[in-house]
Structure 1
Amino acid sequence: MESQFDVIIIGSGPGGYVTAIRCAQLGLKTAIIEKYSVLGGTCLNVGCIPSKAMLDSSERYHEIKYSSVNHGIDVDNTRVDLKRMIARKADVVSKINGGVSYLMKKNKVEVFQGVGSFKNKNTILIKSETAEETITGANVIIATGSKPASLPGIDIDKKRIISSTEALNLKEIPKHLVVVGGGVIGMELGSVYGRLGSKITVIEYAGSILANMDKKMGAELQKSLKKNLDFEFLLGYKVTGATNTGDSIAVTAEDKNGDIVTLESDYCLVAIGRKPYTTGLGLDKVGIELNSRGQISTDKNMETNVKGIYAIGDVVEGPMLAHKASEEGIVVAEIIAGQKPHINYNTIPSIVYTSPEVASVGKTEEELKTSGIKYKVGQFPFSASGRAITSGKTEGVAKVLADAKTDEILGFHIIGERASDLIGEATVSMAYRAAAEDIARISHGHPTYYENLREACLDVEKIAIHI
């Protein structure tokens, strides 16, 4: 193998492998280091992709069992084969693993398997189970991602007290699953098992779920999960302990008045978020600075305080999103190649793949209030959408926030069927600084879900057609 490169990338997740491809496209001699035997990082192997596979399978089951009769389709003896469902998930992951490996070969990216760490700013030591070697690079990009976070005093034993990784490989459907954390991971994986018949109790320290999104989105999703699945929410509660008693888990939590509740469940999923993974990189050897949250400090070009060393994705500040990591990687690759790209963090969407889906881009109403920006609101309920009614998917609302003076779209928030796709139009609109009137005056196909966005923009001036 070659040992000298223009760019060395540590980590092969959606930040790392996308960066490697873009570097190669730009004519840079590129190496990528991955400690596991497969490429793709957390997102592909134990995160985004497998969770979406499980979400899709569980949603199909739930719809067949509970909604098909409304379409004049009788299905008897519907049951779940969890083993086969998880096997399908594994097959999906395997196929995409193969795709990433193919892309590395196609783009002539040199792949090294092992743990990479700094010997100096240009030299990386790679340790595998059987050997050690060093490679050098003019530039190094850290893309090592994140790992599940826990709470003080709670030991994730991977048996009954589990993280998202173990939740994707359970051998039984829990009768009762306690989910610690009302964020994206908790709501998605809670939905998987809720659809399969588990009782789900969500314990969240904040006063709402999806606390980082527009408050209306969290409120609407909570209402839907309580109505359609066996979800219970304990909001404003702090988890104080979780004990594996062998066949069950005892979880204790305390509210803001000091009242304590104890819950018994089959499993406890700790889903309070993730933390940057920089263990073993040897950052101290080259003097790379970390902030108070353990993230690698970078400038606007994602360059660390050590010239020629960059960091992207979950190890740096900002939302821990796969597509955010990919965008940052592309920007770094182009900067190294002498180009002048840019990234607009305000137009990076966030998506929750529950049912209904939730998607958001730009500012929330709470953020606009806090900043003192004057704004207008337009909303359109899915219950008034012809396409939603024909599909029986009438839960949700499209909500747009526009500047009170200029009418520029400042934020778009959607809960409803196919919100993950609908947010695309909203994101493009904001990238080109469209006004709500611009979207309102563009013809949208009928009947479609995306015309709900047009109706929301019309509602900014209270001239929506279908409400």
Structure 2
Amino acid sequence: MASYDLIVIGSGPGGYVCAIKAAQLGLKTAVVEGRETLGGTCLNVGCIPSKALLHATHALHEAEHNFAKMGLKAETPTVDWQQMLSYKNDSIGQNTGGIEFLFKKNKIDWLKGWGSIPEAGKVKVGDETHEAKNIVIASGSVPSSIPNVEVDNEIVVDSTGALELKKIPEKMVVIGAGVIGLELGSVYRRLGAEVTVVEYLDAITPGMDAEVARNFQKILTKQGLKFVLGAAVQGVSVEGDQAKVTWKSRKDDSEESMTADCVLVATGRKPYVEGLGLEALGVEMTERGQIRIDDHFKTSVDGLYAIGDAVPGLMLAHKAEDEGVAIAEILAGQKGHVNYEVIPGVVYTHPEVATVGKTEEQLKEEGRGYKVGKFPFLGNARAKANHSAEGFVKILADKETDRILGAHIIGPMAGDLIHEVCVAMEFGAAAEDLARTCHAHPTYSEAVREAALALGDGAIHA
């Protein structure tokens, strides 16, 4: 029986980052992982493969729509779907292999297999039981579905199945207008599929700043995606190689249906905790099946902690990473902490959408005085030169103190641009601090500065 200071269950972004940080801080650490490769959902069937397909299909879009405008004369590329999937798989392999290298570098043991916790302080993997002073559950999440919809990952697929389709569908229905549905829907739209997104609510990207969401939908519609909003899916039936999706309008209860070659069920994710033995241990859970934790990630069982998608909060890889670092620091005797007020979110379509902090709707609900600074990418020289001038930057600041409360960007490289606002918020900066910071010209980042200037005397280029 091996003994460790820490055993982490799960090697996704939360788990592997937690393990590496713990090892760096001197803790003897092991990670339990049953997949053939490390990295969890994110690296194997989530973040990384989806971004590879988004990158490849965006390059196709550029060739089809913008190359000729820039004087690049060539035949429109044809799509070799199997080669594109191979490229995607190569991206996965490079990243998962990198995590394995980091484990060896930091002397972290990989306990290969699926783990359970027979009692506090012990983890069973296969026929072997290992002791640990502390255990961190970082088991992640799996796709969730809705009633009367059965996923077969051939015709009716979840996010995992959508990354491995045997062929590009002619017609696809996406159930759910959240991040996953819009990203993968964009991939297949660029590849030529007719894509219809069916959403229960009356707006896409639930929880996003409403103004950004409206503009985002307009841009995606212009790209060819179709939207059916306020629609409650009643079920999906498969006949041969086709699937029929039926929904009712929440407005007038009328029923409609659509037939497609592929239906993507993108209705969110749920914690993956099956097989861990939590019920027998007496671990307290929430009503939503999440592991209940305190402010220091501790469960109701001594020595047992949990992070990431398995616990309440945003289901984001980088949120899990920050929690992994924080709990490793706590277990090493330090003061680990996560600032949940500054967790950015990104949609990796084109244009990208990025957000951090409060939305206007949240500030209104709180009754907080605020002001808005906006700047369109149409006024940004780099964006115009690069055929990327759709969208805008929107910054929200306290009406009295000018402190930045949130930012919402739809436009080129939004997922990277958001982070200068994150750093500013982390240090409690005012919008004027951002406005007075010199930004290189010509860059997309100037649009962020201009939005900050708009909160004061006014933007220069608007």
Normalising by structure 1, we get a TM-score of 0.98
1:388 aligns with 2:387: no
2:295 match = 300
2:281 aligns with one of 283, 286, 289 = 286
Asked if the contact 1:65/1:75 (under 8 Å) is kept, the reply is: no
Name the stretch that deviates more: 219-228 or 374-383.
219-228
Distance in 2 (CA, whole Å) between partners of 1:204 and 1:88 is 31
Name the stretch that deviates more: 260-269 or 210-219.
210-219
2:227 match = 233
Distance in 2 (CA, whole Å) between partners of 1:260 and 1:194 is 26
- 1:346 aligned counterpart, secondary structure: coil
> Residue type of the partner of 1:237?
A
2:219 aligns with one of 217, 220, 224 = 224
> Residue type of the partner of 1:388?
A
Question: Percent same amino acid among aligned pairs?
Answer: 49
Asked if the contact 1:402/1:410 (under 8 Å) is kept, the reply is: yes
Asked if the contact 1:8/1:31 (under 8 Å) is kept, the reply is: yes
Distance in 2 (CA, whole Å) between partners of 1:402 and 1:236 is 32
User: Structure 1, residues 266-323: CA drift from partner, whole Å, max 9, x if none?
Assistant: 1000001100000000002221110000000000111111121100000001110000
1:205 match = 200
> Residue type of the partner of 2:68?
V
- 1:23 aligned counterpart, secondary structure: helix
Q: Return the offset for 1:61.
A: 0.7
What is the 5 A alignment of 1:78-227? Answer: 78-127=77-126, 132-227=127-222
Asked if the contact 2:5/2:29 (under 8 Å) is kept, the reply is: yes
> Residue type of the partner of 1:5?
Y
What is the 5 A alignment of 1:402-441? Answer: 402-441=397-436
- 1:167 aligned counterpart, secondary structure: helix
User: Structure 1, residues 146-192: CA drift from partner, whole Å, max 9, x if none?
Assistant: 00000011100111110010101112111111000000000000000
- 1:405 aligned counterpart, secondary structure: coil
Distance in 2 (CA, whole Å) between partners of 1:167 and 1:189 is 7
Q: Return the offset for 1:461.
A: 2.7
2:356 match = 361
Distance in 1 (CA, whole Å) between partners of 2:389 and 2:458 is 21
Asked if the contact 1:210/1:217 (under 8 Å) is kept, the reply is: no
2:63 match = 64
Q: Return the offset for 1:112.
A: 0.7
Aligned length: 461
Q: Return the offset for 1:384.
A: 0.9
1:244 aligns with one of 238, 253, 276 = 238
1:400 aligns with 2:399: no
Asked if the contact 1:10/1:144 (under 8 Å) is kept, the reply is: yes
Distance in 2 (CA, whole Å) between partners of 1:286 and 1:139 is 15
2:338 match = 343
Distance in 2 (CA, whole Å) between partners of 1:12 and 1:311 is 13
Asked if the contact 1:349/1:362 (under 8 Å) is kept, the reply is: yes
1:23 match = 22
User: Structure 1, residues 112-131: CA drift from partner, whole Å, max 9, x if none?
Assistant: 1111001101111112xxxx
Distance in 2 (CA, whole Å) between partners of 1:233 and 1:466 is 34
Q: Return the offset for 1:77.
A: 4.0
Distance in 2 (CA, whole Å) between partners of 1:342 and 1:31 is 23
1:273 aligns with 2:232: no
Distance in 2 (CA, whole Å) between partners of 1:58 and 1:37 is 28
Asked if the contact 2:141/2:271 (under 8 Å) is kept, the reply is: yes
Structure 1 residue ranges (4+ consecutive) displaced by more than 4 angstroms after TM superposition: none
Distance in 2 (CA, whole Å) between partners of 1:61 and 1:448 is 24
- 2:247 aligned counterpart, secondary structure: strand
Distance in 2 (CA, whole Å) between partners of 1:300 and 1:52 is 33
Q: Return the offset for 1:462.
A: 4.9
Unaligned runs of 5+ in 2: none
Distance in 1 (CA, whole Å) between partners of 2:256 and 2:225 is 17
Distance in 2 (CA, whole Å) between partners of 1:171 and 1:74 is 32
Distance in 1 (CA, whole Å) between partners of 2:9 and 2:364 is 41
Distance in 2 (CA, whole Å) between partners of 1:340 and 1:289 is 25
- 1:49 aligned counterpart, secondary structure: helix
Q: Return the offset for 1:66.
A: 1.5
Asked if the contact 2:154/2:165 (under 8 Å) is kept, the reply is: no
Q: Return the offset for 1:446.
A: 1.1
2:443 aligns with one of 427, 444, 448 = 448
Distance in 2 (CA, whole Å) between partners of 1:355 and 1:246 is 34
> Residue type of the partner of 1:87?
S
Asked if the contact 1:177/1:199 (under 8 Å) is kept, the reply is: yes
Q: CA RMSD in A?
A: 0.8
Asked if the contact 1:122/1:140 (under 8 Å) is kept, the reply is: yes
Distance in 2 (CA, whole Å) between partners of 1:463 and 1:183 is 34
Distance in 2 (CA, whole Å) between partners of 1:46 and 1:77 is 30
1:33 match = 32
Unaligned runs of 5+ in 1: none
1:311 match = 306
Name the stretch that deviates more: 180-189 or 452-461.
452-461
- 1:178 aligned counterpart, secondary structure: strand
Name the stretch that deviates more: 72-81 or 285-294.
72-81
Distance in 2 (CA, whole Å) between partners of 1:307 and 1:218 is 43
Q: Return the offset for 1:341.
A: 2.2
- 2:160 aligned counterpart, secondary structure: helix
